[in-house]
Structure 1
Amino acid sequence: METKPAGIEGVGDRADAGALWELRLGDLPRREPIGLPVGASVREALQTMHDRGIGSVLLWDDGGGIAGILTRHDVLDRIALAGVDLGAPVASVMSHPVATLQVTDTLFDAALLMSRRRIRHVPVLDGERLVTLVSERDLFGWQRQSIKHLGAAIARGQTLADFQRAAADIRAYARHLMAQGLQARQLTTLISHLNDQLTQALVMRELAAAGLSADAMCWVALGSEGRGEQTLATDQDNALVFASDDPQADRPRWLAFARRVNEALDACGYPLCRGGVMAGNPPCCLTAPEWEARFARWIDAGGPRELLQASVFFDLRAVAGRADWLEALRAFVLARTSTTPRFIRQMVQGHLEHPVALLWHGGIRGRREGRHRWFDLKMQGTALLVEGARILALAHAVPATNTRERLLAAGRASGAPAAEVDGWVTAFDYLQMLRLRHQGAPAADGAAPNRIDLNTLNAVDERVLRASLHAIQTLQERLKLDYLR
């Protein structure tokens, strides 16, 4: 007999696995959160958990807000092994601050937060009012394979074969969720998050083998991984920041380490970048001052071809090591791009060399080949939105790297009407969904994972694709109006 996890009884009877991820936390059955004043003792907290049969207890501050949380998982490390007196204040062993979600967030949001923060319990708020507590068991008890299990498999990994199996499981899990109807935005976020975990594990493994420290470097994701938008078909785009008083002397050692990570990722199914944008190549393995100088050259004196090749570097995001170094570099870059009109103008000019594939009568322009009309969903679709969002973000000093977040934040900063910005975001979400659906199909295992035959689209998809291209056209027109007048 199949048992349902605590907290979502009955939910599985009215939704499949994909729909479950979409459920709002406010729609789940609620349990009354159990808490104690933050001044309570460790003994009182443990006794409360024991008496109530619960896995955690919240601690309230004087105003009734959440001051912290103590879970059963904390008892061994923080109390038993540490020899803490049971009469000590629970505040001395509680976790704080406490990550929370809103009732409008989804099961997927909760699962991702737990995985990212490595936590097992999340309080759910309605505004500022606490309404329930969601546990890891609530989320994952219904599904045999989950983000938790994939993350655990990566954490246990020792050999390259272990990581290869984990990478294959990530792709299989993503295909499963896509088949169940998970939205493109959530799926690409999930894929990128799990790929981050795999990359972190490989980086730490190779650092140990090379006798190097994570405190002396930052592994950087670029391109789609940097934007948190990886699909099922993706290659590597990465870079390295390392600390050194003598870069020329130290670089060979860091390059050797980075190449081993690149090769391990390749063996796990993430192909080497054909353009050479990888940490194991000398131009992508630099100290922080060297990176600042390189970005300054691009921004102050880069030509059209150089800026085209450099574009993915502006989607930088820290994956392992010193994330604070990368935030400092990002601040340097944004301060420069937002005050250098020449740079933004050149970026816009390069972007407009790739107009939207719409015919004068509103039809979609495809490349004819026999009975086929080919359309590249990436190059003729999402890439145009990615580029436009990047330009707006750099012009308005928006720190986000994710395209959706850039469109929303930079769109508002540009003064574009809300309906226009919503159109850009909707177009991006739809095109990503179409890409993922195509890549998840058996026929997509060949060499053209982003190419579709327009003749195979149903009437609804063709109409929405046409509307999405019109939305991209409005973005290009706005860039032209704002920066090329």
Structure 2
Amino acid sequence: MPVEALVPLLEGATQRRYAAGQVVVAPDDGPVRHLWYVRRGAISGQQGLATMAPAGFQYEAGDLFPVGAVTGERAVTATYRATQDTACLLIPAALVHELAREHPPFADFLNRRMLQFVELSRRAVQVAYSSRTLAEQSLQARLGSLTRAQPFSCGPDTPLSEALATMHAHRIGSMVVTGPDGAVQGILTRHDVLGRVTLPGLPLATPIGAVMTAPVHQLTVEHTAQDAAVLMSRHGIRHVPVTDGGRLVGVVSERDLFSMQRLSLKHVGNAIRAANDVATLSLVAQDIRRFAGNLLGQGLGARQITEVISHLNDVLTARVVELVAARRQLDLGRACWIALGSEGRGEQTIATDQDNGLVLAEEAAGERAAWLAFAQEVNHALADCGFPLCKGGVMAMNPSWCLTTQEWCERFARWIEHGAPQDLLNAAIFFDFRPLAGDAQLVEPMRAFVTRRAQAVPRFLRQMAEVALQHRPPLNWLGGIETTNEGGREVVDLKLQGVSLFVEAARIYALAHGIEATSTRARLQGYAAAVGVGEAESDGWVEGFDFLQYLRLRAQIGPDRQALGPNQIEVRSLSDIDRRILKEAFRMARRLQQRLELDYLR
């Protein structure tokens, strides 16, 4: 904005000095009439929201306050006091409002929230939805903080008699086999002993290296308990070695996670895998939704919850595919079931319909009718499990989405070359594809093809940006949230007006920079690293996206889930802190869109 636009603020401002300890403004003063600009000294805010921060809010030379009270035309919620001899400029609120109306960049500046406010918002949400004990022992805890005892291990030449005696004496369920450098080479668990030692009748002098499981699924101290739980569920294992710098430092067991969180991720996963019919799977699917509600109540964040939901939905879908393929005597080595949309991105919430397709091997093209019948049965089975059929027909049983690898690539090329409205809509759904069941190698050429062709047609990326920018965050010129009246409730659509803005921008940048990840978080982080975006800005994008996803989960699990749409939330039902961070999330979406606009539409 032009420098001269700020002149009225300076001409209308007055200067005032405050002695150390003097109150500058307090809640009893009523609606604030000025915006304070600190020229020298420091001001602290205490009481109200500020008491949640150890030292309150500290404003120093160059800071403005109280922005929220001025834009909201209300009294402050904290008492502001000079902590030393301080000089401030007092800018009339009327001038601030007038300048914000005339200059959107200034309105955007006013509505930025300091990272302290963001942190307070998170704390308040955690206080409201999780107990202190569960907060301390969360699935978000790093494995380095959980593996305290020195793990038992041995070399590959150790006799079974010695290894089993150690396991029995110390009542441990596994023995990790390591090399001289401490690197994990294998593992033997109690579960392995029966099938690998007892039944074959191996002598106990046999080296453990001859019967150990190798290679071993392992994690590092930087991974979380969430990562360990997902790994155990995905591979049906009970013990995960933990390393630091390549050396074994601990072992996390299934029992450790269950006793820590009283969660049953692996239990639900195993129940899905053990199901022998769709009727049983439909019952287990209800456990996924209840489990997600438990995770929300324990204070987990959106990323962890959506990852767990998507993982369990993956397991359930794969099981349905396996059951139907076996019944129809079809070889899954000749096809691959792919997830699209939010499932392809691993970002499913509770309310989700089906978006899927089928990739056929070239030699299976002549069996298309059989595969379409298979897909129809799978789609309807998934509907029985609580995943409604896609109203737009984006499902594998649609002949348009049951194609060979070559046919998929040709379809993608046509969308990119033509760029018609329907082509752009299809790209937004299908370019988030991810293999779920069958031969994943059939899908590998498709990802490289899409990226290469999109980069070769800049016009296509521009068209995708134009579509993405048709929807804007629901913020007015003062930074307030613009709502829609739905039956007397002032609501916003968290998906259409929030989450989708991040998803679409991330997809465009991923295509433009050859980022193969499908999740929005990974795409944003990959783009930021590729072009050198500052950590504060890129973290803001991710945090804004995560918070919107979190509110979506609350809306779908909370008491208003029947009264409103699955992605709608009543703004007046939010706490003051929730509203503040929601505005910040929308502002982050606006900043990301501004970057997209500069990159593709300038």
Q: TM-score scaled by structure 2?
A: 0.75
Is 1:177 the counterpart of 2:295? The answer is: yes
| 2:240/2:252 contact within 8 Å kept | yes
Deviation by residue 1:307-327 (Cα, 9 ceiling, x = unmatched): 123311111111111112222
Match of 1:325 in 2: 442
Q: CA deviation at 1:129?
A: 4.1
Is 1:192 the counterpart of 2:299? The answer is: no
CA distance in 2, matches of 1:292, 1:92: 46
Secondary structure at the aligned position of 1:245 is classed as helix
Q: Which amino acid aligns with 2:315?
A: Q
Output aligned runs, 1:40-439, within 5 Å. Answer: 40-82=158-200, 84=202, 86-141=204-259, 146-245=264-363, 247=365, 249-369=366-486, 371-439=488-556
Is 1:477 the counterpart of 2:570? The answer is: no
Which runs of at least 4 in structure 1 moved beyond 6 Å after TM superposition? none
| 2:138/2:261 contact within 8 Å kept | no
Deviation by residue 1:346-383 (Cα, 9 ceiling, x = unmatched): 11111111122221222222223564322100000001
CA distance in 1, matches of 2:311, 2:195: 27
Q: Which amino acid aligns with 1:276?
A: G
Q: CA deviation at 1:143?
A: 5.8
CA distance in 2, matches of 1:296, 1:243: 19
| 1:43/1:86 contact within 8 Å kept | yes
Secondary structure at the aligned position of 1:444 is classed as coil
Structure 1, unaligned runs of 5 or more: 1-11
Match of 1:4 in 2: none
Larger Rg: 2
Instruction: Report percent identity of matched pairs.
Output: 51
| 1:35/1:58 contact within 8 Å kept | yes
CA distance in 2, matches of 1:445, 1:113: 34
Structure 1 residues 315-324 or 31-40, which shifts more?
31-40
| 1:222/1:315 contact within 8 Å kept | yes
Q: Give the direction of change, closer, same or farther, for the CA distance of 1:461–1:216 in structure 2 (3 Å limit).
A: same
Q: CA deviation at 1:20?
A: 3.1
Deviation by residue 1:385-408 (Cα, 9 ceiling, x = unmatched): 011111111111111111111111
Q: CA deviation at 1:37?
A: 1.4
Secondary structure at the aligned position of 2:456 is classed as coil
CA distance in 2, matches of 1:420, 1:456: 29
- Say what the alpha-carbon RMSD is for the aligned residues: 2.2
Q: Which amino acid aligns with 1:147?
A: L
Deviation by residue 1:234-264 (Cα, 9 ceiling, x = unmatched): 10101111224362x4111001001101000
Deviation by residue 1:129-182 (Cα, 9 ceiling, x = unmatched): 432211111112456650121112112212222111100111111112212212
Secondary structure at the aligned position of 1:469 is classed as helix
CA distance in 2, matches of 1:476, 1:316: 24
Q: CA deviation at 1:102?
A: 3.0
Structure 1 residues 416-425 or 140-149, which shifts more?
140-149
Q: CA deviation at 1:45?
A: 3.1
CA distance in 1, matches of 2:487, 2:314: 42
CA distance in 1, matches of 2:136, 2:500: 27
Deviation by residue 1:70-126 (Cα, 9 ceiling, x = unmatched): 112222233334555544443332222323333343322221121122221112234
Q: Which amino acid aligns with 2:134?
A: D
CA distance in 1, matches of 2:561, 2:132: 32
Q: CA deviation at 1:458?
A: 2.2
Q: CA deviation at 1:301?
A: 2.2
Structure 2, unaligned runs of 5 or more: 1-129
Match of 1:6 in 2: none
CA distance in 1, matches of 2:199, 2:166: 21
CA distance in 2, matches of 1:80, 1:60: 23
CA distance in 1, matches of 2:562, 2:362: 43
| 2:555/2:566 contact within 8 Å kept | yes
